[in-house]
Structure 1
Amino acid sequence: MNFEYFISRRIRSKKGDSFSRPIIKVSIAGISLGLTVMLISVAILQGFQKQVRDKVAGFGAHIQVTAFDSNNSFEPSPIYLQDVSIEEIADIPGVAGVHPFCLKAGIIKTEQEIHGVVLKGVESSYDWSFFSEKLVSGQLPDLSTDEPSGDVLISSRIARLLGFAPGDDLRMYFIIDNTARGRKFRISGIYDTGLGEFDEMYVFGDSRHIQRLNQWDSAVVSGVEIKLDRFSDIEKITDQIYNTVSYKLNTQTIKQLYPQIFDWIEIQDINVLIILVLMALVSGITVISTLLILILEHTRDIGLLKALGAETGSIRKIFIYATGYIAGYGLLWGNAAALGLIFLQQKTGFIPLPEDSYFVSSVPVTIGLPEILIINLATLAVCLLMMLIPSLVIRFIVPVKALRFE
């Protein structure tokens, strides 16, 4: 029989007037709360980063190929598709889609209002999966017609500002050689992504309209977007694409195009790291306090065991087993509480957020098994290390004095 484990069970299950019993419950609750906070913090961070990354990439894909001399205006210099090697890029492992696009700054005018926008022209093969999820009314533009399609997709912000609804006509004006030229479109649908900076700006339509306005042929575009299967491959694939396209073209990631958004996202990593460190320390200090109380309450028992010949290492094991039980139960309840709340938030979104400030309407949460295991193992490791500190007190307990201890 493992007598250390047997005695530790008696210690932690001791009933009656035991002073340590409520302390054990408080300790379990403290470790549980700390783990819950850590798991939820990581889930919110990962969920938030994924949501914002996916939304920004939905507008501009993960990688863009444009002319080297393009400035930061909304009308980049044109490029020729033969310089891009679309087929070769599409064959790169990890590339989900390659789509040419055209950009043209314009003004939407109604009888009462005017609003500056950017018309983003795409081809019939464009991947609309992102906008199909964000569609709030109407339908996606039909670009499969022989002639340039008049369908456009606008945001709910523009629709509210200018009083548009699906099916309405929309007149947009463009400046060509210092002359205003108008084009009439039909609003096929309205989308809402929650990214105010983008929603107020972009209107999606047929790239052939922009090519005609700029007097380009079908082989001339503003740039080429590349969508990837995994965001984590963005740096590696960007280098591959850069070595594939013509020397006259530049390859930029979505992080380089919108650094202010991604820098803001990365700042959140520091906040969560601070929370993780603080919660781990709280759990460790809780374990130290509980173990010291257990040792203090059972000082006479320790003296008796030493008098009977028990080694100091064996006595230390008794209390390490006891606090290991506390840590284990704390982790169990912490996982149950955290994963339950994460699942509930994923399904119901019961915790809302102001979308104008955070780009999402409710707190986004996502966490994988590796993160759960790492946080649990790290918390357990901290608790085990903290156990060793107060357990060293046992070696200084003298049996004669301990047996007289009250």
Structure 2
Amino acid sequence: MNFELFVSRRLISEKDFKSSISAPIIKIATAAISVGVIMMLIAFGTGLGLQEKIRDKIAAFNGHIQIESFSSRSQQVNQNSIPKNQEFYPAFSEVENVEHIQAVATKYGIIRTETDFEGILVKGVGEDYRWDYFEEYLVKGKLPDVKKENSTEILLSQSVVNKLALQLNDQVVVYFLAEDASSRPRLIAFTLVGIYNSGFKEFDDQFLIADLQQIQRINKWDADQIGNFEVFVSDFDDLEITTREVYQYIDSFLNASSIIEQYPTIFEWLKMFDMNIALIIGIMILVAGINMITALLVLILERTQMIGILKALGASDWSIRKVFLYNASYIILRGLFWGNLIGLGILFAQKYLKLIPLNPQTYYVTEAPISIQLYYIIGVNLGTLILCLLMLILPSVIISKITPIKAMQFE
């Protein structure tokens, strides 16, 4: 059997480190490791969860990449049309990261009721529209059926519905400005069949989801004319690279832009969470490491006579250092166990019970979102174990300064 591991096990089992000197120090070190792991897991879980949730919400309304005519960005009211018949549609197989592509169109309008009115952006969608996100945000009613001819069913946000005092199945009259200022506005009477609430007020107050055919009809477009394409990717981390690849495969009169380019302020704000996570990790590992160094030094000083006896019997300094590093590993692993148990328990409780609410006006979400990923759980545990042990190697050099003669002197 490994000599160092054997001695370390005997020390660990000896009254479970319950000596009068080292017991409280060891408990503090274990607690420091546990608290550090809890804080790091929560930082990763909430930070990544918030980033993913906000990205998903922006993508729900815009896709990850938008393909449109160059002139559409400069249009304030009317969107220029582009041909729906493209080589990359309906399957953008030329770019590997592209997961889905859909044809849409938007047009500004005004919802008018007997007592109030509200400006709105009507987004027309077709049979290829990806409803995954809105199924999650749906709070009342159903999703619009856009498969039938000139469907008048619409989806409207809870915030707009509350402002205008609307109910499910109410008739919603939307006025559209004509391109010719001298012409009278055109109107369409829609039927409210679904109410959604994404928690992203900036978009909830803006979007009304309707049938693409209605936008084509109001703009006097052909069935082959649309406003833009929305592209979804499978790996968001490669979005900027994918956007460039998409741009290379589309016609010269079309432009491709990612949601990072369209909403730079939001994504710059999200990057700050990476800095916060890194700062928390650094502080927690430093605190845990200092506590472990203290615990190791106390263990060494408490076992000075044992070190002297081992040296007298021929044990090398490195061999004795390994004994105490094994002891420190036991303390770290015990701290990791409790840290993971409590930390993951908190994350799962928030993920499924939604105990901690957030202000949607500040964070764009109604509760703290959680992302539980195996890679950061493993990284936190391995990183804490390795870095703490590396920090302990240097303090363990004190063992080489202990001489057998002085160490074995009994008072």
Common fold: TM-score over 0.5 = yes
Matches within 5 A, 1:260-275: 260-275=265-280
Q: Structure 2: 5+ residue runs without aligned partners?
A: none
For 2:407 and 2:80, how far apart are their aligned partners in 1? 86
With over 3 angstroms needed to count, the CA separation of the structure-2 counterparts of 1:80 and 1:150, relative to structure 1, is same
Pick aligned residue for 1:135 from 128, 133, 138: 138
Contact 1:120 1:205 in 2 (8 A): yes
Contact 1:165 1:187 in 2 (8 A): yes
Contact 1:152 1:203 in 2 (8 A): yes
Deviations 1:255-274 (A, max 9, x none): 11222221111111000110
For 1:88 and 1:331, how far apart are their aligned partners in 2? 47
Deviates more, 1:106-115 or 1:163-172: 106-115
For residue 277 of structure 1, report the CA deviation from its aligned partner.
Answer: 0.9
Matches within 5 A, 1:47-86: 47-71=49-73, 73=76, 75-83=78-86, 85-86=88-89
For residue 240 of structure 1, report the CA deviation from its aligned partner.
Answer: 3.0
For 1:362 and 1:405, how far apart are their aligned partners in 2? 63
Give the equivalent residue in structure 2 for 1:118.
Answer: 121
Give the equivalent residue in structure 2 for 1:161.
Answer: 163
Give the equivalent residue in structure 2 for 1:173.
Answer: 175
For residue 243 of structure 1, report the CA deviation from its aligned partner.
Answer: 2.0
Give the equivalent residue in structure 2 for 1:291.
Answer: 296
Deviations 1:193-222 (A, max 9, x none): 000000000001112222222222222221
For residue 405 of structure 1, report the CA deviation from its aligned partner.
Answer: 7.6
For 1:68 and 1:251, how far apart are their aligned partners in 2? 9
Q: Secondary structure at the match of 2:20?
A: coil
Give the equivalent residue in structure 1 for 2:247.
Answer: 242
Contact 2:80 2:227 in 1 (8 A): yes
Give the equivalent residue in structure 2 for 1:39.
Answer: 41
Query: Are 1:362 and 2:367 matched, yes or no?
Result: yes
Q: Secondary structure at the match of 1:194?
A: coil
Give the equivalent residue in structure 2 for 1:321.
Answer: 326
Q: Structure 1: 5+ residue runs without aligned partners?
A: none
For 1:17 and 1:373, how far apart are their aligned partners in 2? 33
Give the equivalent residue in structure 1 for 2:317.
Answer: 312
Deviations 1:29-57 (A, max 9, x none): 21111112111211111211111111111
For 2:319 and 2:102, how far apart are their aligned partners in 1? 69
Deviates more, 1:242-251 or 1:6-15: 6-15
Give the equivalent residue in structure 2 for 1:18.
Answer: 20
Query: Are 1:206 and 2:202 matched, yes or no?
Result: no
Contact 1:74 1:103 in 2 (8 A): no
Contact 1:82 1:219 in 2 (8 A): yes
Which residue identity lines up with residue 22 of structure 1 in the other structure? P
Give the equivalent residue in structure 1 for 2:98.
Answer: 95
For 1:306 and 1:355, how far apart are their aligned partners in 2? 65
With over 3 angstroms needed to count, the CA separation of the structure-2 counterparts of 1:308 and 1:153, relative to structure 1, is same
Q: Secondary structure at the match of 1:326?
A: helix
Contact 1:84 1:246 in 2 (8 A): no
For residue 83 of structure 1, report the CA deviation from its aligned partner.
Answer: 4.9
Pick aligned residue for 2:190 from 182, 185, 188: 185
TM-score, structure 2 as length reference: 0.92
Q: Secondary structure at the match of 1:70?
A: helix
Give the equivalent residue in structure 1 for 2:352.
Answer: 347
Which residue identity lines up with residue 6 of structure 1 in the other structure? F
Contact 2:63 2:230 in 1 (8 A): yes
Deviations 1:166-213 (A, max 9, x none): 110111112112242222211111111000000000001112222222
For residue 124 of structure 1, report the CA deviation from its aligned partner.
Answer: 2.9
Pick aligned residue for 1:384 from 362, 383, 389: 389
With over 3 angstroms needed to count, the CA separation of the structure-2 counterparts of 1:296 and 1:121, relative to structure 1, is same
Contact 2:91 2:101 in 1 (8 A): no
For 1:125 and 1:317, how far apart are their aligned partners in 2? 63
Which residue identity lines up with residue 134 of structure 2 in the other structure? F
Question: What root-mean-square deviation, in Å, do the aligned CA atoms of Structure 1 and Structure 2 show?
Answer: 2.0
For 1:283 and 1:93, how far apart are their aligned partners in 2? 44
Q: Secondary structure at the match of 1:216?
A: coil
Which residue identity lines up with residue 163 of structure 2 in the other structure? L
Contact 2:94 2:249 in 1 (8 A): no
Q: Secondary structure at the match of 2:135?
A: helix
Give the equivalent residue in structure 2 for 1:194.
Answer: 199
Contact 1:288 1:389 in 2 (8 A): no
Deviations 1:272-311 (A, max 9, x none): 1100111111111111010011112222322233233322
Q: Secondary structure at the match of 1:262?
A: helix
Which residue identity lines up with residue 317 of structure 1 in the other structure? K
> How many pairs does the alignment contain?
405
Contact 2:88 2:94 in 1 (8 A): no
Which residue identity lines up with residue 149 of structure 1 in the other structure? S
Q: Secondary structure at the match of 1:108?
A: strand
Give the equivalent residue in structure 2 for 1:5.
Answer: 5
Query: Are 1:107 and 2:110 matched, yes or no?
Result: yes
Which residue identity lines up with residue 294 of structure 2 in the other structure? S
For residue 91 of structure 1, report the CA deviation from its aligned partner.
Answer: 6.2
For 1:78 and 1:318, how far apart are their aligned partners in 2? 74
